[in-house]
């Protein structure tokens, strides 16, 4: 159940991360597009400024200004009306405009600008000032609707009109009215606009197509990897489920003959009382204890793959020194070799609350290792400090020892010391892992002290809460 939730969480987190990354990528691409667009606009604007400041264009503008002066003079001399000033000016600019457009187009043609750019030079105001501070307005239109040069601006969805500059031309002039001359000043204000009639998007998207394609491919690639990983994760989970089922079945099958054996031992025990002397009671007890142990061992096969958090302790209060003596006695009986196993337990009755089965598994693992790894003499030492209510169990051997650099790994799952002759010492590297889990589950600690060739000592510390 936990694993299922974890898997779901993992999948959800990966999908979320992928989506977030995609969103970030989208945002970055959008930013790049906007930046490119702004740069392109800026570039086209500076190209235009160059063209606008070129000699031929300057000349046309000079002509236009001269005409404005001419018209202002004619008006001041009362030869034409205000309206005529404007119509004449429009006529003049209409005659200059083809040349202006030609220059602009010629200029732009030199650069490959992917959009249609149009230019408008519009009249803002034309005002005459005399020396007394009086003003006479011939034309004044804040919105600058009167087109002097360029192409008319047709607003479309994508186009925008940008103000490039605001120009003011002033000129001091002299007018002759009724034989008298008056000085006055002409103020001629124009605005210059630039508009892009088609959008940049098509062009820029084409320019960015390489990056976009790569981004799409990467996205597909990452999605593929994610899909593949999730798929294999689910497959592995399925395999793990099958394994668990298998272990469940096999342990069940093994338990059946053992429970029959348990009943047989019980019967044998009853019989033993009738035939006093013929049966050795202590031998029956050993068989019984080992049978119970075997049953419990099978129960725990499932748990070997679980972490200590998942070991379910079945705590009971028992006499630790007596329990240790019994465990060592049972262990001695299981030995084929002639190995000297001694106990050094001075206390008589110290109670502890722990899981008897698990603690005996841990002690057996340590004793088993001591024998397996070349010892001729093993000792189990037990001590108790009443003040801290702490139990110390030390198992010391004179075997081959564990090199220093391996010591911090030996409690890891499947870890085996590679320097040892694997042919002589068979094992899975699970014994110490399991022992460590058991002691952790009891909130105790286990440590090792050893030097290569000089034996090993394991210390278990357990506290009574
Ligand atoms: P398993 O116990 O699963 O059958 P194992 O004995 O190889 O296999 P552990 O009991 O976990 O695995 O021990 C890990 C390693 O630590 C062993 O392979 C061995 O190299 C080393 N080791 C453990 N106890 C001793 C010891 N008393 N003396 C020397 N080396 C030891
Ligand atoms: Mg072992």
Query: What's the rounded Cα separation, in Å, for the pair 288 and 282?
Result: 10
Please report which ligand is nearest the Cα atom of 411. Answer: 1
pLDDT interval class at 206 (50, 70, 90): confident
Average pLDDT over residues 292-302: 73
pLDDT at 346 > cutoff 50: yes
| 279: phi then psi, degrees, rounded to nearest 5 | -105, 140
pLDDT at position 31: 93
pLDDT at position 1: 46
Q: CB count, 10 Å around CB of 414? A: 9
pLDDT at 181 > cutoff 90: no
* Least confident span in 206-220, 221-235, 267-281: 267-281
The set of residues, in sequence order, having a beta carbon less than 8 Å from that of 320 and lying 6+ positions away, is 347, 350, 351, 352, 382, 384, 391
Query: What's the rounded Cα separation, in Å, for the pair 16 and 23?
Result: 10
Average pLDDT over residues 150-158: 75
Choose which residue among 300, 378, 424, 431 to substitute to test ligand 1 binding: the one with the highest number of ligand atoms within 8 A of its C-beta. 431
Q: Are 149 and 62 spatial neighbours (Cβ–Cβ below 8 Å)?
A: no
Return the structure tokens found at 441: 């589950």
CATH 3.30.565.10 domain range(s) in the chain: 303-463
* Least confident span in 14-28, 130-144, 353-367: 130-144
Average pLDDT over residues 151-166: 77
pLDDT at position 399: 93
Q: Give the ligand 1 atom nearest the CA of 425.
A: 7
| Residue position matching structure tokens 């009671």 | 281
pLDDT at position 180: 83
pLDDT at 67 > cutoff 90: yes
pLDDT at 202 > cutoff 50: yes
Q: Are 193 and 162 spatial neighbours (Cβ–Cβ below 8 Å)?
A: yes
From atom 23 of ligand 1, which residue's Cα is the shortest distance away? 369
From atom 17 of ligand 1, which residue's Cα is the shortest distance away? 416
The string of DSSP letters for 435-461 reads HHHHHHHTT-EEEEEE-TTS-EEEEEE
429 C-alpha to ligand 2 centroid (Å): 6
pLDDT at 250 > cutoff 90: no
Q: Give the ligand 1 atom nearest the CA of 426.
A: 7
Return the structure tokens found at 424: 């002589």
Q: Which CATH number fits domain 303-463: 3.30.565.10, 3.30.70.270, 2.160.10.10, 3.40.50.720?
A: 3.30.565.10
Average pLDDT over residues 208-217: 89
Return the structure tokens found at 267: 């019967």
Ligand 1 within 6 A of 175 CB? no
pLDDT at 7 > cutoff 50: yes
Average pLDDT over residues 413-435: 77
pLDDT at 85 > cutoff 70: yes
At 374-391, the pLDDT tens digits run 899 999 999 999 999 999
Q: CB count, 10 Å around CB of 192? A: 21
pLDDT interval class at 275 (50, 70, 90): low
pLDDT at 9 > cutoff 50: yes
The string of DSSP letters for 352-417 reads EEE-HHHHHHHHHHHHHHHHHTT-SEEEEEEEEETTTTEEEEEEEE-SS---HHHHTTTTSTT---
pLDDT at 423 > cutoff 60: no
pTM attached to this predicted model:
0.47
From atom 10 of ligand 1, which residue's Cα is the shortest distance away? 431
pLDDT at 310 > cutoff 60: yes
pLDDT at 348 > cutoff 90: no
Average pLDDT over residues 305-328: 82
Question: In percent, how much of the chain has pLDDT > 90?
Answer: 42
């Amino acid at each position: 159940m936990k694993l299922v939730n974890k898997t779901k969480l993992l999948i959800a987190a990966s999908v979320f991360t992928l989506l977030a990354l995609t969103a970030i990528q989208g945002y970055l691409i959008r930013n790049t597009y906007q930046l490119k667009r702004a740069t392109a606009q800026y570039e086209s604007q500076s190209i235009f400024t160059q063209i606008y400041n070129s000699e031929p264009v300057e000349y046309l503008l000079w002509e236009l200004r001269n005409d404005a002066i001419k018209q202002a003079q004619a008006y001041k001399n009362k030869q034409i009306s205000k309206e005529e000033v404007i119509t004449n000016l429009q006529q003049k600019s209409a005659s200059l405009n083809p040349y202006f457009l030609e220059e602009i187009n010629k200029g732009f043609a030199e650069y490959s600008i992917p959009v249609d750019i149009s230019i408008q030079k519009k009249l803002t105001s034309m005002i005459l000032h005399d020396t007394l501070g009086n003003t006479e307005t011939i034309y004044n239109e804040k919105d600058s609707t009167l087109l002097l040069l360029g192409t008319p601006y047709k607003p479309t969805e994508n186009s925008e009109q940008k103000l490039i500059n605001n120009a003011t031309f002033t000129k001091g002039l002299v007018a002759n009215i009724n034989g008298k001359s008056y000085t006055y000043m002409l103020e001629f204000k124009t605005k210059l606009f630039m508009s892009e009639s088609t959008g940049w998007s098509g062009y820029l998207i084409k320019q960015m197509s390489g990056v976009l394609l790569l981004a799409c491919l990467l996205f597909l690639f990452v999605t593929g990897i994610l899909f593949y990983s999730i798929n294999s994760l689910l497959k592995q989970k399925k395999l793990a489920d099958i394994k668990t089922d298998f272990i469940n079945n096999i342990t069940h099958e093994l338990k059946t003959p053992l429970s029959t054996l348990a009943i047989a031992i019980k019967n044998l025990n009853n019989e033993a009382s009738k035939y006093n002397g013929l049966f050795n009671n202590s031998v029956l007890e050993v068989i019984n204890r080992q049978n119970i142990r075997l049953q419990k061992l099978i129960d725990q096969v499932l748990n070997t793959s679980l972490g200590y958090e998942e070991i379910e302790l079945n705590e009971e209060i028992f006499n630790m020194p007596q329990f240790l003596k019994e465990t060592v006695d049972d262990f001695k009986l299981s030995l084929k070799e002639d190995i000297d196993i001694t106990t050094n337990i001075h206390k008589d009755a110290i109670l502890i609350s722990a899981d008897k089965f698990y603690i005996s598994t841990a002690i057996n693992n340590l004793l088993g290792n001591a024998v397996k790894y070349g010892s001729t003499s093993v000792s189990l030492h037990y001590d108790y400090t009443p003040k801290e209510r702490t139990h110390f169990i030390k198992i010391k051997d004179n075997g081959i020892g564990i090199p220093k650099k391996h010591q911090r790994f030996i409690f890891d799952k499947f870890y085996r010391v590679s320097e040892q002759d694997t042919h002589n010492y068979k094992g899975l590297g699970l014994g110490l892992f399991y022992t460590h889990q058991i002691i952790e589950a009891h909130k105790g600690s286990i440590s090792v002290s050893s030097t290569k060739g000089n034996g090993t000592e394991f210390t278990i510390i357990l506290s009574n809460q």
